[in-house]
Amino acid sequence: MGTRNRIYIHTWGCQMNEHKSEGIAGLLVREGFEVAQRPEDADVVIFNTCMVREKAEDKVYSEAGLIRGLKETKPELLLGIGGCMAQALGKKIFKHSPAVDFIFGSSNISDIPELIREAQRRNGQRNGSSVMAVSTIPDRIEELPFVRRSSFQAKVTITEGCSNFCSFCIVPYTTGLLRSRLPGDILREVTQLVDQGYKEVQLLGQNVDSYGNDLDDPDIDFANLLRALTRIEIPRIRFTSSHPKDITSGVIEVLSEENNVCEHVHMAVQSGSDRVLREMRRGYTREEFLELVHQLKSRVPGINITTDIIVGFPTETESDFFETADLVEKARFGGAFIFKYSPRPGTISYYKHPDTVPLEEKQRRLEHLLHVQKRITDEENRAWVRRTVEILVEGRARTSLGRYLGKTRDSKTVLFPGRPEMIGTFAKVAVEDAGASGLFGRVVS
């Protein structure tokens, strides 16, 4: 690529997107780029976008406006947009934001170097125009040379896309149908990570429990993959996200039997009302969900179950909402991400239902549920006071001067007075206090 250019990547959205950005960085470093820490220091800025939440587009366009400002003093600076938004909107983005020089789709990461080269050529010409590579349907999982942010925790994608088509969700349209990586490739990657000294891997997929459903071999499923990975000498294996309709007894068995699989399941319930769950096309009832919670809690002692919930889904009545609040009380989640419904153009619910619940009512339901969940999280965390937990130390706590933070096996955050050399090591912490934000203690070994 000639001169040594610098890239800056801004990522929106989930852990899968964050991991994809590690792949983009790795690919471009291989092409001779350096990674910049600020857009001001970069020659190419890349936005890896997400459209799952409300106003995502507005935020991306507003950030693009800031890059446009930088271009006034540095005309050779390039801006590329990729990910969900690029996949959904394609060249419409150019019309909205003249600052954008290139666009790449969800399956077009490996096209980025060529897009940059082409954009640089065109940027040098008068009346230069923008370039785009967006496959109509995302259809491949690209094997990328990841530059991982952490030297001890690694994300490993096992599936991309999703074939579930929940009525509110844009993901199947922007990331395509389910594609599973072959078990041999995943096992090889995790083995290499262990050889490099990694202590924790997090397996990623929109719905990890559907792993293998798109492959011909009936023996390839998530439980068997997980079991095979436990044979590799890695202290901690995590996975996210799980879908309540797809978790099998085989997965619960592995969770209960294998020491290196962490006791944490993040599975979105979305609603506690059967009628709303049907409208959402989630594929389970509230009773089935609660039975699954019971199975997990009784067979995997100390398991932490976290969830996602949408309030104000179209047609959700007050009594539907109370069923959700009641389910939250019964399931006693360790934590929950709670969102107000926002219509996503292109999804089933967008076309089927007007957005019937007024914004103030959505806000009221959100606050009520946040309050309930905060109390439960607080109570669940307080049960750990006067106990000793094992944590993997992740780094300094941003909000608490002089403290460090780590995660327990069941994914609770622990704050404690620490030292820089502890980062990336396991420590035992005696828990002295707790609240909804986590556990607080001191290192005992």
Q: Binding site membership: which residues? A: 14, 50, 84, 162, 166, 169
Residue 51 found at the interface with ligand SF4 (CB under 6 A): no
Residue 351 found at the interface with ligand SF4 (CB under 6 A): no
Q: How far apart are the first and last CA of the chain?
A: 50
- Provide the token pair at 63: 């950030």
Residue 165 found at the interface with ligand SF4 (CB under 6 A): yes
Q: How far is the CB of 118 from ligand SF4 (least distance, A)?
A: 32
CA distance 119 to 77: 10
Question: Among candidates 402, 413, 444, 412, which has minimal Cα distance to 427?
Answer: 444
Residue 273 found at the interface with ligand SF4 (CB under 6 A): no
Residue 307 found at the interface with ligand SF4 (CB under 6 A): no
Q: How far is the CB of 16 from ligand SF4 (least distance, A)?
A: 10
Which of 207, 271, 307, 373 touches ligand SF4 (CB under 6 A)? Answer: 207
Residue 174 found at the interface with ligand SF4 (CB under 6 A): no
- Provide the token pair at 34: 């350096």
Which of 206, 271, 349, 408 touches ligand SF4 (CB under 6 A)? Answer: 206
- Main-chain dihedrals φ then ψ at residue 105, nearest 5 degrees: -85, 180
Question: Among candidates 318, 284, 299, 316, which has minimal Cα distance to 307?
Answer: 284
Which of 50, 132, 169, 277 touches ligand SF4 (CB under 6 A)? Answer: 169
CB nearer to ligand SF4: give 26 or 283: 283
Residue 164 found at the interface with ligand SF4 (CB under 6 A): yes
User: Each residue of 119-134: b (16+ CB within 10 Å) or e?
Assistant: bbebbeeeeeebbbbb
Q: How far is the CB of 170 from ligand SF4 (least distance, A)?
A: 8
**Is the CB of residue 102 less than 8 Å from the CB of residue 119?**
yes
- Main-chain dihedrals φ then ψ at residue 307, nearest 5 degrees: -150, 170
Residue 50 found at the interface with ligand SF4 (CB under 6 A): no
365: alpha, beta or left, given left = phi > 0 and alpha = psi -120 to 50? alpha
Residue 373 found at the interface with ligand SF4 (CB under 6 A): no
- Main-chain dihedrals φ then ψ at residue 31, nearest 5 degrees: -85, 5
Which of 81, 89, 144, 171 touches ligand SF4 (CB under 6 A)? Answer: 171
CB nearer to ligand SF4: give 175 or 381: 175
Mask for 209-248, x = binds ligand SF4 (CB under 6 A): ----------------------------------x-----
Q: Where are the extended beta strands (E) located within 148-241?
A: 153-157, 159-160, 179-180, 200-204, 236-240
Binding site residue list for [4Fe-4S] cluster: 14, 50, 84, 162, 166, 169
CA distance 413 to 428: 13
CA separation, residue 307 to residues 71, 88, 124, 330 (Å) = 42, 27, 50, 13
Mask for 397-436, x = binds ligand SF4 (CB under 6 A): ----------------------------------------
CB nearer to ligand SF4: give 94 or 339: 339
Q: How far is the CB of 137 from ligand SF4 (least distance, A)?
A: 16
CB nearer to ligand SF4: give 153 or 270: 270
CB nearer to ligand SF4: give 165 or 337: 165
405 burial type by CB count under 10 A (0-12 exposed, 13-18 middle, 19+ buried) = buried
CB nearer to ligand SF4: give 50 or 162: 162
Contact residues for ligand SF4 (CB under 6 A)? 162, 164-166, 169, 171-172, 206-207, 243
